[in-house]
Amino acid sequence: MGTKQLRINDAEQIRKRISEFIDKPISLVLTNGMIMSGKLTSVDASKVVVQNMRLKKIPYSFNQIAEIYFDSIA
């Protein structure tokens, strides 16, 4: 068994497809180069909220997000 990775790096595609990943683990690559991993908990018109491993919910605005990675079992 392997994993299949979905990478979305276009700002318009991120806005269109982000709601598909609610309640699923994702990795965000921020524009400053940091990588944040956690469960996507909510999405609205201006931001996404990710719950990290310490169960803290952290909001990120769309202009902070450069890429989204989603791993699934192939």
Q: What is the pTM of this model?
A: 0.88
What is the per-residue pLDDT for 1?
65
Mean pLDDT, to the nearest integer, of 5-25?
94
DSSP per-residue letters across 39-69? EEEEE-SSEEEEE-TTS-EEEEEGGGEEEEE
**Under DSSP, is residue 18 helix (H, G, I), strand (E, B) or coil?**
helix
Render pLDDT for 56-67 as a digit per residue (tens, 0 to 9). Answer: 999 999 999 999
Rounded to whole angstroms, how far apart are CA atoms 18 and 42?
Answer: 9
What is the per-residue pLDDT for 2?
80
Render pLDDT for 22-55 as a digit per residue (tens, 0 to 9). Answer: 999 999 999 999 999 999 999 999 999 999 999 9
Token couple for 26: 């994702």
Task: Assign domain 3-73 to its CATH architecture.
Answer: Roll (2.30)
